[in-house]
A and B are shown apart, each in its own frame.
Chain A
Amino acid sequence: MALTDTYEVPEALRDDIAARFTSLFGVLRESRVALEQSIAVWTYKGEVPPEATRIEEIAEHTGWHHQVRVGERASAFARSRTEQVVEIAAGFMALQIEEIVDGADSRPEVLIRILDVPEQLLQAVWLKYPDRDDLYIVAGTGNAMGQHVSGAVFLALLGREPAVTGVEL
């Protein structure tokens, strides 16, 4: 079974996720709604040092992603930071993450994390192997979504691509 960083979700945080989730989406009485695994969220630090070879060198741990299962599928998630809920969402991203995590389940050497790259409007499931990284883009713009790239390719692209300006404010 693939690994995630260890995190025992505090009871107060669990309760807050549950309250916010039910307030926003409601819960059918017959549905089984459960908090699934928590996955560490790492956020890009804004630059790729020339000597960087691993994703861990360009990002830092900033919070947690909590998969929420409704019925048989993880169709929602919550994000937390310093034991505070910072976002909850339902939709395709949670399903994609579940599929990738399930696919990695037979690889006990893999550590699963989420990589957030706000400067490129990208989020990826990051499979951290002992000797390499793999990234599956689960949120982004244009053609980025759904792409699977190696850590080495991702670092090269990230180092080359200018940050997305989007709107000048």
Chain B
Amino acid sequence: MFRNNEILLTQPLAATPRLHAAPVTWCGAEQNEWCWAATVQMVLKSRGSTRSQCEIVQTFLQDASLDCCTRPFRCNVSCDSRDFETLVCPTEGLTVSPAPQPQLSFAEIQTNVVDENKLLILGFRRASGRRVTGHMALVVGVSAPDQVMILDCAKNNSTGAVPRPHLPTGYYGTWVQTWIVD
């Protein structure tokens, strides 16, 4: 505990996060609409792929004339959740399935990520004035007592954790979707 603002070490402390078996490293979204591509890149990277975000987007857009890797700003597009699930992920060799209930419990998250070694992609929706925005983040582990370890492509190379009770409405808008990556 912090005493006089310093942590008082009363017992041997060891990190106790329980992580997905394959190390997952953070990737920042290279264009502001590319959280979906950055999230896919993080998953692919954990499996040894060197696929870039612009290649993922180029394949999704199916228009070679756009030349997304040379002029990425021309390909700065969002992705519909259905396209993400049925087009982007399968094309990139990822099998994803929506969780029956998007807002998984802490135990369910732990079972999927730690026990069954699956990654979870969370989808958030946020009302902003007259617009609705969306965002994705990748769950890579859990930590006591209720912390969900998240890699977020907009969080500047930080490893973070969010208490599970805070996830439904307090992370980025409302947690509305969870995809389980096999």
A residues whose Cβ falls under 8 Å from a Cβ of B: 14-15, 17-27, 29, 32-36, 46-47, 81, 84-94, 96, 118-123, 138-142, 144-145, 162-169
Contacts and interface: CB of A to CB of B under 8 A. Distances in A.
A18 B14 CA distance: 13
B59 interface: no
Q: Would you list the 4 A-B pairs with minimal beta carbon distance, nearest first? A: A26-B15, A91-B158, A89-B160, A165-B78
Interface in B73-122: 78-81, 84
B161 interface: yes
A87 B28 contact: no
A92 B157 contact: yes
Interface residues on B, range: 35 or more
Nearest to A77: B158
Nearest to B16: A23
Interface of B: 1-2, 5-7, 9, 12-17, 28-36, 78-81, 84, 123-126, 128-129, 131-136, 143-145, 147, 149, 153-163, 166, 170-173, 176-177
Nearest to B143: A24
Contacts of A91: 155-160
A18 B1 contact: yes
6 contacts: A93-B155, A96-B156, A121-B32, A141-B31, A142-B32, A166-B33
Contacts of A27: 7, 9, 13
B158 A89 contact: yes
A119 B33 CA distance: 11
B135 A141 contact: no
A141 B153 CA distance: 7
Contact of B143 (A23, A81, A169): A23
B166 A139 contact: no
A118 B157 contact: no
Contacts of B6: 32-35
Contacts of A169: 81, 123-125, 134, 176-177
Given A18-B2, A141-B34, A169-B176, A34 B7 contact: yes
Nearest to A164: B32
Given A167-B84, A169-B81, 4 more contacts: A15-B1, A46-B129, A121-B154, A167-B81
Contacts of B163: 20, 84-86
A162 B77 CA distance: 13
Given A20-B147, A168-B80, A141 B133 contact: no
A167 B123 contact: yes
Chain B CB within 10 Å, residue with most, of A29, A47, A84, A166? A166
B159 A168 contact: no
Contact of A142 (B31, B147, B160): B31
B123 A22 contact: no
Contacts of A119: 126, 128, 131, 133
Contacts of B131: 119, 162-163, 165
B32 A144 contact: yes
Contacts of A85: 163
Given A27-B13, A34-B7, A87-B161, A142 B30 contact: yes
A89 B161 contact: yes
Contacts of B155: 89, 91, 93, 139
